[in-house]
């Protein structure tokens, strides 16, 4: 195969699997910007591969992207130690069809990404590749540089860890939408009662301003504390605000604009009909992916 044909074939294969590769990288990193960097690094390595030696292009590309994401994840861990205030995943404006794949929607939700954030890098990679993308253990072993036996043990530990911390029962889109509509009414009318009615006693509120925008410096826990926060909340009428119900990370979310400019995104974790987690992202560097839809896929 001459060099031009080789590059064309490599490009065709990469484009065909690009959305899948982005999703793998994003679920491992929680950052679309870093996922895009990983895809660029993956492409640079892929274009130099002798395609005649590749048995299965999808598996080979996933292996490259996993290794690059693992390298990036270890670097990000050090960077996030100095992050100002709570770190939240970078929100994505997702296509409506993502919600139809319940497992995919759950895996890219803000709540799940925060759970994955507490795993060790290799544990996160193994969990994502096995539980979300259903890769065989031998494929995962090649991707993470471990034996199949080690990968099976890591998968078992990660699965148990995540199961103990994930939402107790995946909320229906209707339940999540109802909770967010209560947030929306509170923003638009100042009426907090309907919002307080859907907050769980142990609700946790997190906000991420990245040291650039005003945000909570630590989590606020408990309905009384969150209620006091809401009473002097970020929607005080010091500017023209609008709130739009959109698809964020595979489920309903709120897109908040101030004077016509995107100011932030609100996502929630809903369990048994009540909000147990509220996530407010205001860091401008994390809001570029809520202006246009991002395709995620398995």
* Residues forming beta bridges with residue 235, ordered by sequence position: none
pTM for the model: 0.93
| Mean pLDDT within 127-133 | 96
> What pLDDT does residue 293 have?
96
> What pLDDT does residue 203 have?
95
The more confidently predicted of residues 15 and 214 is 15
Kindly tell me if the per-residue pLDDT of 58 is higher than 80.
yes
**288, 31 contact by CB (below 8 A):** no
Percent of the chain predicted with pLDDT > 70 = 95
Q: Backbone dihedral region of 171: left (phi > 0), alpha (psi from -120 to 50 degrees) or beta? A: beta
Kindly tell me if the per-residue pLDDT of 3 is higher than 90.
no
| Mean pLDDT within 104-112 | 94
Kindly tell me if the per-residue pLDDT of 270 is higher than 80.
yes
> What pLDDT does residue 247 have?
94
pLDDT digits (tens, 9 = 90+) for 220-269: 999 989 888 877 765 555 567 788 999 999 999 999 998 899 999 999 99
pLDDT digits (tens, 9 = 90+) for 179-207: 889 888 887 777 788 888 999 999 999 99
Work out the pLDDT band at 130, boundaries 50, 70, 90. Answer: very high
> What pLDDT does residue 230 have?
78
| Mean pLDDT within 5-9 | 77
**Mean pLDDT of the residues in the chain:** 91
206 Cβ partners below 8 Å, 6+ apart? 86, 88, 216, 219, 220, 277, 278, 279, 280
Which one, of 104, 153, 90, 88, lies nearest residue 126 by Cα? 153
| Mean pLDDT within 38-61 | 94
| Mean pLDDT within 160-177 | 84
> What pLDDT does residue 81 have?
81
Q: Backbone dihedral region of 282: left (phi > 0), alpha (psi from -120 to 50 degrees) or beta? A: alpha
> What pLDDT does residue 20 have?
97
CA 250 to CA 239: how far, in whole Å?
A: 30
C-alpha dihedral sign at 234, 236, 238, 241:
positive
> What pLDDT does residue 54 have?
92
> What pLDDT does residue 261 have?
93
CA 275 to CA 198: how far, in whole Å?
A: 6
- Give CA separation, 197 vs 10, 193, 194, 250, 265, in Å: 54, 6, 5, 25, 21
**204, 275 contact by CB (below 8 A):** no
Pairing between β-strand 274-281 and β-strand 199-208 as defined by DSSP bridges: parallel
Pull the structure tokens for residue 146: 């471990």
Angle, helices 57-80/137-144, rounded to nearest 10 degrees: 50
């Amino acid at each position: 195969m001459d060099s031009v044909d080789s590059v064309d074939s490599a490009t065709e294969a990469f484009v065909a699997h690009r959305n899948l590769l982005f999703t793998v990288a994003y679920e491992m990193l929680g950052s679309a910007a870093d996922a895009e960097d990983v895809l660029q690094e993956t492409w640079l390595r892929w274009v130099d591969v002798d395609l005649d030696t590749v048995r299965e292009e999808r598996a080979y590309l996933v292996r490259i992207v996993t290794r690059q994401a693992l390298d990036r994840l270890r670097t990000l861990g050090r960077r996030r130690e100095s992050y100002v205030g709570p770190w939240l995943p970078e929100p994505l404006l997702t296509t409506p069809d993502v919600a139809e794949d319940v497992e995919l929607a759950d895996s890219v939700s803000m709540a799940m990404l925060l759970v994955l954030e507490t795993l060790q890098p290799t544990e996160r990679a193994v969990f994502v590749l096995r539980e979300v993308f259903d890769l065989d253990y031998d494929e995962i072993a090649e991707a993470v540089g471990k034996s199949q036996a080690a990968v099976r043990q890591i998968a078992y530990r990660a699965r148990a860890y995540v199961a103990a911390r994930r939402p107790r029962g995946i909320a229906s889109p209707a339940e999540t939408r109802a909770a967010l509509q209560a947030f929306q009414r509170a923003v638009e009318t100042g009426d907090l009662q309907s919002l307080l009615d859907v907050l769980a006693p142990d609700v946790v509120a997190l906000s991420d301003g990245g040291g650039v925008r005003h945000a909570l410096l630590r989590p606020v826990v408990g309905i009384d504390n969150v209620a006091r926060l809401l009473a002097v909340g970020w929607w005080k009428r010091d500017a023209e605000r609008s709130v739009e119900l959109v698809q964020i990370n595979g489920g309903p979310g709120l897109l908040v604009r101030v004077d016509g400019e995107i100011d932030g995104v609100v996502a929630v974790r809903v369990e048994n009909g009540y909000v147990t987690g509220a996530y407010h992202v205001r860091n401008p560097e994390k809001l570029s992916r809520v202006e246009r839809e991002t395709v995620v896929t398995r």
